[in-house]
């Protein structure tokens, strides 16, 4: 009974698994969608560019570099002007609209995506080695490197007229992405409680092996849930 009461309390006070942060972000975006529509439908492209510049500075660059000197010296200012992640995520919606209205060549987006990916990898490795600890500053959802990857990837899709989705495999993975993110941490925790770690294997074997297990298990979960009509229609 005490466990049931604790579970109810956790639900009321939002003491959920940390991976569920994206659910709150989705709710925020849905709530602001009517306002976003009014903004983009009743302004010219220059004001949208102005918003994106502000968003890039306050919602992406500041959160990324706030922990590094000399930016960290301005903490008393930053804490008041930086965009919280939930609201900063709205910028991605407007960025997506901007890309659809001002599409560049596919090669442009590929270059930006690769630069973001390589920079994220190298900077993350360097930080972890330097600090002798796990640091995912440049792998975080609102970091500049991940923003570059998001911009590049979405731009690739738009500039190729969604051709990537013409394949059944990619379409299935795309449809299952919400469920995969929702449940993947369950399988990570199963590995944790079974004391199975990446470090138990050679790095070139351990990482792909763990990724494959978590992805396949999450996808199978999606496949099962998709067969339940009410869940498939209203949740996933």
Domain spans in the chain, listed from the N-terminal domain onward: 1-102, 105-166, 167-236
C-alpha neighbours within 13 Å on the C-beta side of residue 130: 8
CA distance 204 to 195: 19
Residues 141-197 have pLDDT tens digits of 889 999 999 999 999 999 988 777 777 888 888 888 888 988 898 899 999 888 888
Q: Residue 72: what pLDDT? A: 82
Determine contact, residues 142/60, Cβ cutoff 8 Å.
yes
CA distance 42 to 54: 19
Q: Which DSSP letter does residue 57 get?
A: I
User: What are the pLDDT tens digits along the chain (236 aa)?
Assistant: 777 788 777 777 777 777 777 888 888 999 999 999 999 999 899 999 999 999 999 999 999 998 888 888 888 888 899 998 889 999 999 999 999 998 899 999 999 999 999 999 999 988 888 888 888 889 888 899 999 999 999 999 999 887 777 778 888 888 888 889 888 988 999 998 888 887 788 877 888 899 999 999 999 999 998 888 877 776 66
Q: Within 10 Å of residue 201's Cβ, how many Cβ atoms?
A: 14
Determine contact, residues 116/148, Cβ cutoff 8 Å.
yes
Token readout for 37 is: 């529509």
Those residues with Cβ within 8 angstroms of residue 142's Cβ, 6 or more apart along the chain or in another chain = 59, 60, 63, 64, 85, 88, 89
14: left (phi over 0), alpha (psi -120 to 50) or beta: left
Q: Which DSSP letter does residue 68 get?
A: S
Q: Residue 58: what pLDDT? A: 94
Buried/exposed code over 13-31 (b: 16+ C-beta within 10 A; e: otherwise): eeeeeeeeeeeebeebbee
CA distance 128 to 214: 24
Determine contact, residues 209/201, Cβ cutoff 8 Å.
yes
**Which residue carries 């060549």 as its tokens?**
105
User: Burial level of 77, CB count in 10 A (0-12/13-18/19+)?
Assistant: exposed
């Amino acid at each position: 009974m005490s466990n049931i009461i604790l579970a109810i309390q956790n639900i009321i006070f939002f003491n959920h698994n940390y991976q569920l942060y994206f659910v709150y972000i989705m709710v925020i975006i849905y709530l602001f969608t009517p306002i976003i529509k009014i903004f983009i439908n009743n302004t010219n492209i220059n004001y949208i560019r102005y918003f994106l510049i502000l968003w890039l500075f306050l919602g992406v660059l500041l959160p990324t570099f706030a922990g590094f000197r000399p930016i960290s010296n301005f903490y008393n200012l930053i804490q008041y002007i930086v965009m919280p992640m939930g609201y900063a995520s709205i910028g991605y919606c407007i960025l997506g609209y901007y890309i659809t209205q001002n599409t560049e060549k596919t090669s442009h987006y590929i270059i930006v995506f690769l630069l973001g990916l390589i920079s994220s990898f190298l900077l993350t490795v360097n930080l972890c080695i330097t600090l002798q600890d796990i640091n995912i500053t440049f792998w975080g959802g609102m970091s500049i490197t991940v923003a570059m990857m998001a911009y590049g990837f979405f731009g690739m899709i738009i500039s190729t007229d969604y051709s990537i989705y013409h394949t059944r495999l990619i379409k299935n993975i795309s449809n299952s992405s919400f469920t995969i993110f929702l449940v993947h941490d369950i399988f990570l925790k199963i590995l944790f409680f079974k004391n199975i770690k990446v470090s138990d294997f050679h790095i070139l074997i351990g990482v792909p092996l763990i990724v494959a297990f978590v992805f396949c298990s999450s996808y199978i979960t999606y496949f099962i849930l998709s067969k339940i009509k009410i869940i498939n229609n209203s949740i996933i």
